[in-house]
Chains A and B, each alone.
Chain A
Amino acid sequence: MNTLIFRTVAPFLTALMVLFSLFVLLRGHNEPGGGFIGGLIAVSAFAIYGIANGIAAVRKALWFHPMTISAFGLFIAAIAGLMSIFFAVPFMTGLWVYPVILGVEIPLSSVMLFDTGVYLVVVGAITSIALALEAEEDA
């Protein structure tokens, strides 16, 4: 598995896949895609990087511990649901704002925040399991 070609290509492949996972995440509101599937793509990217360069490199590249990422995702997902308490609408109602940044109207919503939370939960949880399994492999 650990050929020179694979090790050379892996970082670029990882970067491309993470970028694609973000695209899938943002596309998810109105078209097929979303946080869960985007998160899985990102996890595959990290797994590829881990197979090529070892799990220590992945942990270093992620900077935060995977469980922390997952916990942060859970936190913002819960916050996204709870925000609607201030607008007298039920739990998890979608709230929208349309700020105009540099002349472009950008729709932002609590739904997107929730989806980002799901993305982070999936990235954190599955990465930590994948890394644990890869660590067993190394040992």
Chain B
Amino acid sequence: MEVPFVLLIGLFFSAAVYLMLSKFLVRVLLGVVLLGNAVNLLIFTNGRILREVPPIIPAGHDVPQALTANPLPQALILTAIVISFSFFAFLLVLVYRAYQDLGTDNGNEMRLAEPENDPLPPTGY
């Protein structure tokens, strides 16, 4: 099972990097979303893939009754999903605001913070 997953992860990462190399922020944003999913798959695969039951302890017991899937990667992924989801929401608003206020979604044209012809400091009084 690992090999198809590894190939899929590779595909996700290359697509994410390709999108993030774009000048346009919306594509970069989509790249970031893909990257987050690639990482989640990566953690999932790293936790070893088993065809087992979900790690839920039946009522009245203290320990699982049979072999279960590894719950830790699932917890890690859940955390990572929550975090990447909130970042996506924030970045979406930020990119939209940038488009409204700066009138562009092209990263190369955003030069307000670093003006192109910033003067050099004076060399004398």
Contacts and interface: CB of A to CB of B under 8 A. Distances in A.
- Indicate yes or no for A touching B, C-beta below 8 A: yes
Interface of A: 30-32, 36, 125-126, 129, 132-133, 136
Interface string B87-98: 001101100100
Nearest to A37: B78
Nearest to B59: A30
Contact of A136 (B59, B86, B90, B96): B96
B96 to A, nearest CB: 6
* Interface class of chain A by DSSP: helix
* Interface class of chain B by DSSP: helix
Contacts of A136: 96
A41 to B, nearest CB: 15
Nearest to B78: A36
B6 interface: no
B17 interface: no
Contacts of A126: 89
A36 B82 contact: yes
Contacts of A32: 56
B93 A132 contact: yes
B92 A133 contact: yes
Contact of B93 (A31, A36, A125, A129): A129
Contact of A133 (B56, B59, B86, B93): B93
Interface string B53-90: 00010010000000000000000001000100010011
Contacts of B93: 129, 132-133
A32 B74 CA distance: 13
Contacts of A132: 93
Contacts of A133: 92-93, 96
9 contacts: A31-B56, A32-B56, A36-B82, A129-B90, A129-B93, A132-B93, A133-B92, A133-B96, A136-B96
Contacts of A125: 86
A129 B82 contact: no
A128 B96 CA distance: 16
